Structure 1
Amino acid sequence: MTATQTGTPLGESQDTPSEASAGRQPSPPPSPEPPQPAQPAAASHLFGLDLDQLTLDGVVARCREAIITRRPLLIGVVNAAKIVNLHKDEQLKASLLDCDLVLADGQSVVWASRLLKQPLPERVAGIDLFYRLLEEGDREGWSVYLLGATPEVNTTVTQVVTERWPSVRIAGARNGYFTDEEASAVADDIRAAGADMLFLAMTSPKKEIFLAEYGPRLNVPVIHGVGGSFDVLAGLTTRAPEAWQKLGMEWAYRLAQEPTRLWRRYLVTNTSFIAMVGREWRDRAATPESSAPRGQ
């Protein structure tokens, strides 16, 4: 009699009971492979920095990946003023070199990248990224820690986030006025909160000093310095109309709002930035091989 006639499948011994007949559960399927990190984006080498050639959508996708994998993503943004200042401030420059992503926050930086044949796809303003991440967080139920600004502004921002993006969980919030002695306790509070995103509205160089000292222990996947975005969200200041933004004239709108405080700063930084672009263009013309974007 053949094995098929006895009801025993071919290739299976009659003396060896199956897993089911022995009362054992089948082996569980293998665990899925963990998601792999995205490949680094091509970069435009400008003014001593590598600026990532990413759109706003591309940056949001990177942030999503960081939150899913819990891999840290430190985001830096630069405009004309910051590029001028980083050549005078080694600590500021070092903090930007430590970032996982460096983005063009100013339209003038995008224009300079095209003139210098290191084209960036678009401006990624820090405040636009801030709002987009809150929108994504509302859809996904992400949590945030809001650090910075005055106590009153921080409280208002927390309330606005809760009202406008109700599915975003506020893991923690604190104003930006703390001493060096208190900084360690602030870092411990952020770590304990377990937030998906940390938004810092702190001035330079305090923000850079804090992140350099405590960044690795914060245990937050996405860290984004948002500058004066808390003041805008709280209604203390208004952002330039979109038409001004597209023309790269947001600085002029701010100057019109606060001429006494800002005229000297913009006169100096804008003039210095134009001179820097001219020098970089001259140097690249002398050495054409330096014009190829990084990562291509």
Structure 2
Amino acid sequence: MTALLGPAPRRQLFGLRVDALTADDVIGLADQAVQSRRRLLIGVVNAAKVVHLRSDRLLRESLLECDVLLADGQSVVWASRLLGQPLPQRVAGIDLFEQLLALADRDRRSVYLLGATPSVLRGVEEAVARRWPGARVVGSRDGYFGAAASAEVAAGIAASGADMLFIAMPSPHKEIFLGTHGPSLGVPVLHGVGGSFDVLSGLTKRAPERWQRWGMEWLYRVLQEPGRLWRRYLTTNTAFVLLLIRERISRTRPYDPPTTAKEGTAHE
């Protein structure tokens, strides 16, 4: 496990500052954050987010607010090398999710699970109990609640005393929830895990490792749900390639961070 001594190197990509970290580096930072009770908000960026952050202010600000921003997409890693800002590796959100659960298992740390449907959430709880029995699930809540209930959900998370919070809520609900209640949660490690709950519960299958290495995980998903996903990925991937060409010609000016300053983070 890696312990970082000082700031991690960062790369300028598509107007974002992306951290040049390995998965082991991030686990080391998470370990430090839990021990010191200082916030480590982990964010990930993929091709779709690169495309949408230009027009989606909420998404853009949520990425800029993160203490650590990682490349969750082989296409972003390849782009970083073409742009002369190389990242060491892809750090997939689901892989990091499982490694953080392994850390919690090793040290008997507490976790809170937030998001997905009640049935998927039960499947995740069962998977955690089976695969990482030392990780203590101190609370869980499905993601189907309205704005009126969000304060109550946040209060429950804060009262749980969790060391790690895993959020499987779609945008913009995740960003709105964290933007409104993040400072009051008191959880050191916060990680938005996207569709990882679906995979861990067994609802959906992840692409084989070879497909992941080739950066074809998106195609595997399309083959599972062609009617729903083919147009989305065709549009997004085409837009990403065009943005990469544009970035080679003229770099996007770095986006300004949100006006709210971050204090007491574990990544300084």
TM-score in terms of structure 1 length: 0.83
* Residue equivalent to 1:18: none
Alignment of 1:168-187 (within 5 A): 168-187=135-154
Structure 2 residue 178 is matched with structure 1 residue 222? no
What stretches of structure 1 move > 4 A for 4+ residues in a row?
none
Q: Report SS of the residue matched to 2:219.
A: helix
Structure 2 residue 89 is matched with structure 1 residue 105? no
Residue-by-residue CA offset, 1:84-131 (whole Å, 9 max, x unaligned): 111110011001100000000000000000000000000000000000
* Residue equivalent to 1:66: 33
Residue-by-residue CA offset, 1:25-61 (whole Å, 9 max, x unaligned): xxxxxxxxxxx98522110111111000000000100
Q: What 5-or-longer segments of structure 2 have no aligned partner?
A: 255-268
Rounded Cα–Cα distance in structure 2 between residues aligned with 1:251 and 1:162: 29
* Residue equivalent to 2:225: 258
Q: What 5-or-longer segments of structure 1 have no aligned partner?
A: 1-35, 291-296
Residue identity opposite 1:175 in structure 2: D
In the alignment, is the contact (CA less than 8 A) between 2:4 and 2:29 conserved in 1? no
Residue-by-residue CA offset, 1:14-33 (whole Å, 9 max, x unaligned): xxxxxxxxxxxxxxxxxxxx
Residue identity opposite 1:265 in structure 2: R
* Residue equivalent to 2:257: none
Residue identity opposite 2:61 in structure 1: A
2:204 paired residue among 232, 237, 240: 237
Deviation (angstroms), 1:171: 1.1
Count of residue correspondences: 251
Structure 2 residue 116 is matched with structure 1 residue 149? yes
Residue identity opposite 2:133 in structure 1: P
Structure 2 residue 95 is matched with structure 1 residue 120? no
In the alignment, is the contact (CA less than 8 A) between 2:168 and 2:195 conserved in 1? yes
Rounded Cα–Cα distance in structure 1 between residues aligned with 2:127 and 2:218: 26
Rounded Cα–Cα distance in structure 2 between residues aligned with 1:37 and 1:226: 23
Residue identity opposite 2:213 in structure 1: K
Structure number with the bigger relative contact order (C-alpha 8 A, sep ≥ 6) is 2
Q: Report SS of the residue matched to 1:74.
A: strand
Deviation (angstroms), 1:214: 0.5
Q: Report SS of the residue matched to 1:156.
A: helix
Alignment of 1:30-69 (within 5 A): 38-69=5-36
* Residue equivalent to 2:266: none
Structure 2 residue 39 is matched with structure 1 residue 80? no
Rounded Cα–Cα distance in structure 1 between residues aligned with 2:123 and 2:233: 29
Alignment of 1:265-284 (within 5 A): 265-284=232-251
* Residue equivalent to 1:25: none
Q: Report SS of the residue matched to 2:12.
A: strand
Rounded Cα–Cα distance in structure 1 between residues aligned with 2:81 and 2:66: 23
Rounded Cα–Cα distance in structure 1 between residues aligned with 2:229 and 2:92: 20
Residue identity opposite 1:239 in structure 2: R
Q: CA 1:37/1:69 → structure 2, altered by over 3 Å: closer, same or farther?
A: farther
Larger Cα-atom Rg: 1
Residue identity opposite 2:226 in structure 1: P
Over aligned residues, Cα RMSD in angstroms?
A: 1.5
Rounded Cα–Cα distance in structure 2 between residues aligned with 1:282 and 1:155: 49
Residue identity opposite 1:191 in structure 2: A
Rounded Cα–Cα distance in structure 1 between residues aligned with 2:7 and 2:139: 31
Residue identity opposite 2:45 in structure 1: V
Rounded Cα–Cα distance in structure 2 between residues aligned with 1:195 and 1:159: 18
Structure 2 residue 160 is matched with structure 1 residue 193? yes
